[in-house]
Every structure is written in structure tokens, then in C-alpha cells.
Amino acid sequence: MHKLIWGFLAVTFMIPIWAFANQPDPFMRTWSKTDWVSEIKALPIQSAGRLKPFDTFSREAFDLFVGKEKFRGKESYELVLSILFEPQVWQEIQFIQISHQELRKDLALDQTRQLYSPKELMHAPRMMPLFQELDAKQRAEEKLDPYFQAVLRLANQMAFLQQLVSGGAIRVIPPNPSQAMESDTWLSFSQFTDEQKLRFALLPAGFTSDKQETREKLAEYITKFKDLARQNNPNLYPSDFDMKLEVHFNALRPFRVAWILALVASIFIGFSIYGRPSFYKFGMAFFLVSFFIQTYGFFLRCWIAGRPPVSNMYESIIFVAFGSMLFGLIFELIYKKKLIALASLIFAVISLIISDNVGSVMDDGIHPLESVLRSNMWLTVHVLTITLGYAAFALSLVYGNMGLIPYLFTGKESKHMGFRDLAFFSYRAVQVGVILLAAGTILGGVWADYSWGRFWGWDPKETWALIALLGYLALIHARFRGLVGHFGFLAGCVVAFMGVLMAWYGVNFVLGQGKHSYGFSTGGVSYVATYCSLQLLVIAWAIYQKKKSAKS
């Protein structure tokens, strides 16, 4: 923390050698030629344990500073360059987000805004004591409450800003072979050779110059610097293809495209159920394209990360959405009932929108894995099986809710539009889910046994997976016996999914205990609680309506 505080002071007092005296407005800068953009975006940089293109680096930076990847209409790569090359301008720019109201109050900041300039924060009196308190809490490994999470974010913002301004974060040249024997950390400006320094200095010169001709040469400067950087250790330098692929992934945002397409598909299919059968084809076409884009997105993400998408909440949500589309497609091909496809689409759209929009709770960045997860096939198989099981249960949840709709209004089963089939489909989905969750939980045991010689350890995550499984088993057995009918099964699917939610979300975000702690985080608890109470209300209302209609 000491380092951090001194670093913070350095934000104001240290001005790197490439800083110039003029005070340009970074948001007004225009470019006559933009050929340099693709070059700078694909420039490899080492940050947070991973080699990534500058594009990803600067998106993550602005995600941290502002909470968005774009700021005042400018893309982050240009803004990060501006912070790097003309830091003095950024002292006055309000771009550091503090969204926690209490914290803003405690720091005696202007309450009408959420964004503050480094200079304003510099003069906030309570900041240092808060950082010290945070430091103490982290050392005691205490769980941070939302307030201190906000302090932590602020500390990270300041530390990262300091690293940017001092150039320490800009690790763009691989260590040469003899340095690489010592450490695999890439070099930042102060470690460059004179030649490398000169080449690098052309970048700020080109970027900040007043002369149009100089600025048009920026692309050339970047390419030349890149060649020089590569020369330092060609073996460690990533290929242009890999970098461009990640830039492409960032620009494409496949999972956003996928939910938009899925939304269109669901509208078409909705109409096809409601009297326009001819729309079905269009709907399925959009369904397929959306599914294809998701598949492509996973392919890219796996390629970039070098591992399957199993590490955090964000990845599991997009994977469950993918799984629900997959099962929906299979069921749709077998049974040809439009409601099946619609249910998958609804779930995929909702979950993809959530994952796309709550970046504060779910980090969509690609990060290196915790060491415990760096393993083998068993882990991957175990997690993917369980997540696919969640997907099947998610489908049964949507079928359950759809099937309850007629009861909500009439208290009776509807014979129209295939609503009666839903009980059967939800049963099928539960069957698929039970197999996958049972197999996945057992595979988890196999992995645990392989990895630490313990098949079952009552870890909350595995216990809750078992509880969720037990919930569905109770439901299935009740159905065998005839203890629940169509209505009971549909309602049961809705209730049993809360077990899945607890295993999937609750253990990481509410309980916060156990071995699966690498996925731990906080946030969103009130939303999930609201969702669960709404679902219970829906069921209660349906039961009430059913009782009423049975009487009459």
C-alpha cells in the first residue's frame, strides 16, 4: 500500500519525458489518416499475466476508470494513448468513476457527479486513511463489504493510472533471451535500450504532433517499433494473427450480436405461434445464425484464452445460454413445437443481455486461471457437463413459466397452441438435466479425487449441486407416483431451479466459502432475491387461480 500511495503522489508530480507543454483537448483530436488504428490496436502488450493486444489493454483500462469501453465518443485505445503521452491534460479531466454514494460523501466530493478528475481526488482528505484501512482488511483476509469494494476499485484505479502515467504498465518489448532466463516479465520504457527508447519516443511524437505530416506517419512509427520489439526476442513475440484475432473478437462482440439476433428470432417465432405460421422459417433462420455466432464466439474465446470458457460467472452464463440454444435446437428438430424454440430464445436473450450489461458484477475480461484450475481434462469435462445440465434446467424453468401462464389467467390448463405439451417438454428437459448434473457432480468427484485424493469433501459448491439435483429427483419421483400432475410439475420446475441458482450463483456470491473461491465475487444479490420472490408470487397466484376455478 505504501507503494500505492507514493505512486499516487507521482501521478501529479511526475511528468514523463515525452510530455509536452501544450494543452490539447484529447476529445477534439481529428485524424486525416486512420491507417495507424489497426496497427496500434494489434500491438502486443503484457498486462495482468497475459499477452494481449493494445486494444484489449485499453478497453480494460477504461472499463476500470469509467466503467465503459468508450468515453465521450472516443474509443479507448486513443484515450489511453493520450493518457500515456500527455498525462498533464488528464489531471483535470473527470474520468474516474466512483459509483458508491457513501464513498463519494466520505471523500467530500461533488455529489452530483460520478466521475472525478485525478486532481479532485488528490485533494480528497479521507482517501489515504481509507486506503490504509483497506490495506489492513486485505492483510487480515477479511471479506470486503460493498463500501470497501468501492474503495478497492478506487485504489486500483489510482494505482493503474499511476502505472500508465509512469509508463510502468506499458510492457511492450519481450525480455531478450538472456533476460528471459531470469524473468518472463516484459520490459517497460525504463528498461528499454537507447535504440528502443528512441523508436518508442516516435509514438508520442507522432501522436501529439501539431503537424499533419508527422501525424500521418504514426502507422509507420508503430510498425517500426513493433519490428524492433519483435527482434528483441522473436520466440516470445506473439503472431500478428493472434493479436488481430483478439481485436476482431473485441470489435465483433459476438455475444451481443447473438442476443440481438435471438431477440429478432423470438419475435418471428412468437408471431408464427400467434397466427402467422409462415414466420416460423424466418425465426428459425435467425435462431440458427445466432447459434452459429455464439459457436464462433466460443471458438474465438477459447483460441484467445487457450482454454475452455469455464473460469467465472460471465463465462458460465454465456455457456449456459449456448447450451439452452443447443438443447432447444435438438428438441425443436425432434418435436417441431414452436414453443420449444421460443423458450430457448427467451432464456438465451435474457441471460446474454444480463451478461452483456452488468459488467460491474461479472467481469467479461479474459484472465489467466487460478492455479487450482490450471489442470486437466477432468476439470473441463466436469464443469462443462454441469453447466450444460444448468442449461437443460434453465429450459425446464422457461417451459414451467410458460406452462403456468394459462393457469395465471384461467386457473385451468390451456388446450391451445401446444401449452399442454409444455409439461412433457419440461419433463424431458429435467431428464436431460438430471443426467448431466448427476454425471457432472460425479465427474467433479473424480476430478477432486484425481487432484487431491478426496472424492467428496462437502464443499458448498458440490453440496449445492447435490441439493439442486435432489430437488429435481424429488420432483421426478413425485411425478412417477402421481403426487404431482402437470401443474405441479411445471411449478416444481420453477421452484427447483432456485436450487440451481443457489449452486450456480449463490455459493459464489452469497455464501462466499469453500474451494471454488476463485469464482467468488459480490453484487446482484438483491436482483436475484427479487427474481425468486417474483417467481414464488407467480406460483402462489397460479395456485390461487387454480383453486378458484376448481370450486366453480
Which position among 227, 449, 534, 549 is part of the footprint of other proteins (CB under 8 A)? 449
Please state, in angstroms and rounded to a whole number, the distance separating the CA atoms of residues 385 and 393. Answer: 12
Q: Is 61 in the site for other proteins (CB under 8 A)?
A: no
Which position among 114, 191, 380, 463 is part of the footprint of other proteins (CB under 8 A)? 463
Pick the piece of the chain touching other proteins (CB under 8 A) from 249-257, 291-299, 342-350, 452-460: 452-460
Assigned C-alpha cell, 495: 421452484
Q: Is 109 in the site for other proteins (CB under 8 A)?
A: no
Q: Is 371 in the site for other proteins (CB under 8 A)?
A: yes
Please state, in angstroms and rounded to a whole number, the distance separating the CA atoms of residues 481 and 475. Answer: 10
Please state, in angstroms and rounded to a whole number, the distance separating the CA atoms of residues 475 and 431. Answer: 11
Q: Is 495 in the site for other proteins (CB under 8 A)?
A: no
Which position among 353, 442, 528, 543 is part of the footprint of other proteins (CB under 8 A)? 442
Which position among 238, 270, 488, 512 is part of the footprint of other proteins (CB under 8 A)? 512
Residues 6+ apart with CB under 8 A from 21: none
Q: Which of residues 194-223 bind other proteins (CB under 8 A)?
A: none
Please state, in angstroms and rounded to a whole number, the distance separating the CA atoms of residues 299 and 119. Answer: 43
User: From the CB of 415, what's the least distance to other proteins, in Å?
Assistant: 9
User: From the CB of 474, what's the least distance to other proteins, in Å?
Assistant: 4
Q: Is 535 in the site for other proteins (CB under 8 A)?
A: no
Which position among 333, 470, 529, 537 is part of the footprint of other proteins (CB under 8 A)? 470
Q: Give yes or no for a contact between 19 and 13, defined as CB atoms under 8 angstroms apart.
A: no
What are phi and psi for residue 116, nearest 5 degrees? -135, 155
Q: Is 329 in the site for other proteins (CB under 8 A)?
A: no
Assigned C-alpha cell, 216: 500521418
Angle formed by the axes of helices 338-357 and 254-273, to 10°? 150
Q: Is 403 in the site for other proteins (CB under 8 A)?
A: no
Q: Is 434 in the site for other proteins (CB under 8 A)?
A: yes
Which is nearer to other proteins, 39 or 462 (by Cβ)?
462
Q: Is 339 in the site for other proteins (CB under 8 A)?
A: no
Which position among 150, 219, 383, 507 is part of the footprint of other proteins (CB under 8 A)? 507
Which is nearer to other proteins, 15 or 478 (by Cβ)?
478
Q: Is 478 in the site for other proteins (CB under 8 A)?
A: yes
User: From the CB of 472, what's the least distance to other proteins, in Å?
Assistant: 10
Say how many C-beta atoms besides its own lie within 10 A of residue 341's C-beta. 27
Q: Is 241 in the site for other proteins (CB under 8 A)?
A: no
User: From the CB of 499, what's the least distance to other proteins, in Å?
Assistant: 7
Assigned C-alpha cell, 435: 443426467
- Concatenated DSSP letters for 10-78? HHHH---TT--S----TTT---S--HHHHHHHT-EEEETTEEEEHHHHHHHHHHHHTSSSEETTEEHHH
> Could you tell me how many residues of this chain bind other proteins (CB under 8 A)?
67
What does R_g of the chain's alpha carbons equal in angstroms? 27
Q: Which of residues 111-170 bind other proteins (CB under 8 A)?
A: 129, 132, 140
Q: Is 295 in the site for other proteins (CB under 8 A)?
A: no
Q: Contacts for 468-471 with beta carbons within 8 Å, 24 or more apart? A: 468/393, 468/437, 468/496, 468/499, 468/500, 468/502, 468/503, 469/434, 469/437, 469/438, 469/441, 470/499, 471/495, 471/496, 471/499
How are the residues of the chain apportioned to helix, strand and coil, as percentages rounded to the nearest 5? 70, 5, 25
Q: Is 185 in the site for other proteins (CB under 8 A)?
A: yes
Q: Is 471 in the site for other proteins (CB under 8 A)?
A: yes
* Closest of 334, 356, 276, 345 to residue 69, by C-alpha: 356
Which is nearer to other proteins, 4 or 289 (by Cβ)?
4
The three-point CA angle 319-323-329 to 5° equals: 145
By CB under 8 A, name the binding residues for other proteins.
46-50, 129, 132, 140, 171, 183-186, 368, 371-372, 374-376, 379, 420-421, 423-424, 427, 431, 434-435, 438-439, 442, 445-446, 449-456, 458, 460, 463-464, 466-467, 470-471, 473-474, 477-483, 485-486, 499, 502, 507, 511-514
